[in-house]
Structure 1
């Protein structure tokens, strides 16, 4: 793999080293409201100040080097320090920094990117994707899905089909519709969510929801049939769509059994409802394919994307609109009264094109599928022998493990102990970014990782698990 373009420019390094941590923290506390943050707690701790990045590492304002096993926020697929992406943004800014896509107007990068994405999206069965709607984030894209799905059924003469079914513990964004589609109870507790005509079924999480002695295969079928039960309870003539992530990301890397998606597909086909595949995390090589629906044999009607399309270098999201929906919107719909100021932003689209070119040139999806994904699976499975690990599992280049009090019985810790946050603190202390979702510890590293870097990461993970175990023993919480 060519790594010559992963060098941080010297000027950026100099600027980063000149930061005064305490001064930045004081200004941060005084003026910056962070996402998903307890600001009273943050004020006492002080924000971690990240100043520069290169390849799979970031540095803080104290000069500490940290292995970023979360790709920023699931998005830096091509790694940090890619000069081509900065150059693409600069060149486009000097040519056409912005123009809108309203009023029967377009721009070249948006057209080129829509064409490129259509070429990368594989046809599965009778479903194909020739059209793209652009936004600036996954949240906006899932709001778009709600509008598109309901508009589709209006045009099909079935306006009563408004209900969209999602899953508990799913994440589909932070906007009113996105947060409603998601199944996070903490988000629903604020802002009178979910909005009407959005409902949820249980997630396909065998470790938590499987019955004693129930195989993963049997559980996968039972979990999928929760969708059928919900459709019948609501009335098939009232259900517009089912939305789901191929693998739940923010919910803790919840990997469904192999039997789950084929049964989901049977159900949506039987009742004629739209299938929305949220691939904000899973697309662009993360699971070893350009789009993860191909991996699972899913036949979606709408596919949400964001994050990895630009490797996070600049905000961009969108919806791949399947022909079943697109042709109805185009042929019957007239004006679609929906859109964003930055839909098809020329700079974002130019960066995305450069990013996809890198991923193609270096074969990053194929590397995940054939090389580093299997190697990560092999190394991560070794954690199953750790006293704190109930189960460790991977899918492509995402992975998760469950911290348990008793390995033999899979007894979990009291949630009030916040063992996951305890482990996360040890990770940061030892130069590793690993995310805690309750007591699940998860990773989604950059796709440019080498075998040696995977080994480095795994050594750090084991070190942090050992430190967490030692702390729990000292507190008397484990034997």
Structure 2
């Protein structure tokens, strides 16, 4: 394949949108331009990528989304499943819903489908095992490009080098950032398959230059850091390290699943989350104004662990890939203390 470099995940996904539009113009399909993303997705904050992002904070006050951007269901079984519905049935229903959207809009108007293997900023949402097995044949059937956003899941986070390997995804375009340089320098990439590149090459004379690129695209300093980062991933076998310690973190997160505050404990590899609820039986959330997850994160920091709160009272774990099992145990102990502190506060204020 070929790569186009940029500075951030937002820019890499923006480039992917333009690639999808350019390719369809090259193929004489000027109507095939709509992009489908998902509720709770996070793909960036440029005008176009904030439109793909399926979270209110990225859109509400900016008059977004722009035209031609559509959203389908979020594959969150805990929140989205009907009573008695199995994970397989839930995945099948979401695939049917996507196909109905494609047919309603007209397959000849839909250019691409964007997905994160694991939804990151949307709350660390791991899809059901059969979800992508159901989705991918539809994309093939209707000639819709599959853009896999690996900005968070790329470079070992899920226990494989890429999330696409973990979930057996066949991407036409893959976007990378963050861990490409381990966060030390701003660099991102939009990778395309050889097949896609051949289309660009064959049609470019007819269409004219692919007029896209940034001042700092492929800047030598971030590029050198990225090359060194990739070397370290290989030399230190970081993927094997994640496979070794990931189960310890997942077990640690799930060990708190019975706590009265936790509705769901979830994750894969070295990314995970808990969703805090007011009522476990009904899955009723707290009033967002109560800031329960933010309180827990502050208490965790007090006890020595840096966690992140997300919309919907989700608390996320995404430690350095080199973390040891002993450090995971320490992080979980800090989290446990913060959880108990938060439960005490909730009871004192009679919030549950």
> Would you say 1:419 and 2:292 are equivalent positions?
yes
- 2:41 match: 170
**What is the distance in 2 between the residues matched to 1:217 and 1:257?**
7
Q: Deviations over 1:74-114 (max 9, x none)?
A: xxxxxxxxxxxxxxxxxxxxxxxxxxxxxxxxxxxxxxxxx
Cα distance between partner residues in 2 of 1:323 and 1:263: 25
2:329 equivalent to 1:455:
yes
Aligned position for 1:103: none
Q: Is 2:72 the partner of 1:198?
A: no
**Within 5 Å, which residues of 2 pair with 1:53-202?**
130-202=1-73
Contact kept? 2:125, 2:267, Cα under 8 Å: no
The question of 1:259 aligning with 2:130 is answered yes
Q: What does residue range 389-468 of structure 1 map to in structure 2 within 5 Å?
A: 389-437=262-310, 438-468=312-342
CA drift at 1:368: 1.4
| Structure 1 unaligned regions, length at least 5 | 1-129
Distance in 2 (alpha carbons) for counterparts of 1:471 and 1:379: 23
Counterpart CA distance in 2 for 1:366 and 1:149 is 35
Output the CA distance in 1 between the equivalents of 2:198 and 2:97: 31
> How far off its partner does 1:229 sit?
1.4
Query: Is the 8 Å Cα contact of residues 242 and 276 (structure 1) preserved in structure 2?
Result: yes
CA drift at 1:325: 1.4
SS in structure 1 at match of 2:216: coil
Within 5 A, what are the aligned runs for 1:282-321? 282-321=153-192
Distance in 2 between residues matched to 1:217 and 1:434, nearest whole Å: 32
Q: Deviations over 1:244-267 (max 9, x none)?
A: 101100001011100101111111
1:245 to 102, 116, 120: 116
Deviation at 1:382, TM superposition (A): 0.6
1:315, distance to aligned residue in structure 2 (A): 0.2
Contact 2:156 2:242 in 1 (8 A): yes
Name the residue aligned to 1:230: 101
The Cα RMSD (Å) is: 1.2
Contact 1:204 1:224 in 2 (8 A): no
Query: For 1:371-425, what per-residue CA distance to the aligned partner results, in whole angstroms no more than 9, with x for missing partners?
Result: 1112212222111121211111121110011111222333322223221112122
Report the 3-state secondary structure (helix = DSSP H, G, I; strand = E; otherwise coil) of the residue aligned with 1:383. coil
Write the distance in 2 (CA, Å) between the matches of 1:161 and 1:422.
Answer: 46
Asked if the contact 2:41–2:115 (Cα under 8 Å) also holds between the matched residues in 1, the reply is yes
Work out the CA distance in 2 between the residues paired with 1:183 and 1:333.
33
Using the TM superposition, give the Cα deviation of residue 362 of structure 1 relative to its aligned residue in structure 2, in angstroms: 1.0
Displacement of 1:322 after TM fit? 1.2
Q: 1-side partners of 2:62 and 2:315: how far apart?
A: 28
Q: Secondary structure at the match of 1:336?
A: coil
Residues 36, 69 of structure 2: 8 Å contact kept: yes
2:238 is the alignment partner of 1:364: yes
In structure 2, C-alpha distance between the alignment counterparts of 1:421 and 1:158, rounded to whole Å: 47
2 CA distance for matches of 1:332 and 1:181?
Answer: 27
Could you tell me the TM-score, scaled by structure 2's length? Answer: 0.96
Aligned length in residues:
348
1:135·1:141 contact (CA, 8 Å) conserved in 2? yes
Name the structure, 1 or 2, with higher relative contact order (CA <8 Å, separation 6+): 1
1:117-147 deviations in Å (ceiling 9; x for gaps)? xxxxxxxxxxxxx211100110111110111
Residue 270 of structure 2 corresponds to residue 270 of structure 1:
no
Structure 2 match to 1:333 = 204
Could you tell me the TM-score, scaled by structure 1's length?
A: 0.71
* Deviation sequence 1:308-360 (CA, Å, 0-9, x none): 00000000001111122111112212411111011111111100111111111
Instruction: Flag the structure with larger Rg.
Output: 1
User: Relative to structure 2, which stretch is displaced further, 198-207 or 233-242?
Assistant: 198-207
Name the counterpart of 1:473. Answer: 347
Partner of 2:228: 354
8 Å contact from structure 2 (residues 124, 272) kept in 1: yes
